[in-house]
Amino acid sequence: MTRRLLLLSLCLGLAACDSSDTAPLPLNLYECDAGEAAVRHLITLLPDLNPGVAKSYSIVLGEINRDGMTPATDDFTKRFADLKLKFVNAQNLKDIEPDHTIADPDTRLAAFILQLRKLQPTSANTWDAEAGWSYKKEYARYKLQLEVKDGKTRVVKAEKTESS
C-alpha cells in the first residue's frame, strides 16, 4: 500500500513538473487543426493594404531569423484552398531589391507572410498560440487562445501584442 502511494505521488509530482512551457512543440506538429484555426483567424485580421493589388500569401512556422524561415508544407497549405487565395511556398519567395521586399516570384509583388510562431497545448481541449503577419514594412503579432468544442477548433480570444 505504501509503495503504491509513493508511486502515485511520484507520478503526480512528475506531471506537475511539466516542462511544456519551455519546450516548444516540433514545428511539424503545428500543422494540425489548432494550427489551421490559428492561421484562418489570422487571415480574418489582415488589413486591406495596397487595395486593388493582387496578393499572395505564404505560411511559415516557428521563428523567422537570419537563417531564414520554415515553410509550411504544401499539404498544410492545401487546407486553405476554400479561401480562394493564392498561396506560395515560403521557400520560393524572392527578395526584391532595392528595399528587400519579400515577394511572390511569379508576380514580383509583395506577399503576406503568415507566421504561426508558437503553438502550445494547455489542456486536452485548449491551446495557446502566437501568430503574426507581415506585408512589406507593416506587421502585427497576436496572442491567441483556442478551444476545441463540438469537434471544432476555434479561436476564443485574440490579443494584439505588437504592430507597426
* Model confidence, pTM: 0.82
Whether residue 43 contacts residue 114, with contact meaning beta carbons closer than 8 Å, is answered with yes
> Is 14 a member of any domain?
no
| Segments forming the whole domain that contains residue 93 | 24-163
Strands of 44-98, DSSP E: 56-65, 68-71, 86-87, 94-96
**Domain annotation covers residue 112:** yes
In-domain check, residue 30: yes
All residues at 6 or more sequence positions from 149 whose CB lies less than 8 Å from its CB, including other chains: 125
Whether residue 15 lies inside any domain: the answer is no
Task: Going residue by residue through the chain, which has 164 residues, state the pLDDT in tens, using 9 for 90 and above.
Answer: 433 333 333 333 333 333 344 456 788 899 999 999 999 999 999 999 989 998 999 999 999 888 788 999 999 999 999 999 999 999 999 998 888 899 999 999 999 999 999 999 999 999 999 999 999 999 999 999 999 999 999 999 999 998 88
> Domains in the chain: how many in total?
1
Query: What size, in residues, is the chain?
Result: 164
Q: Is residue 6 part of a domain?
A: no
Whether 29 is in a domain gets the answer yes
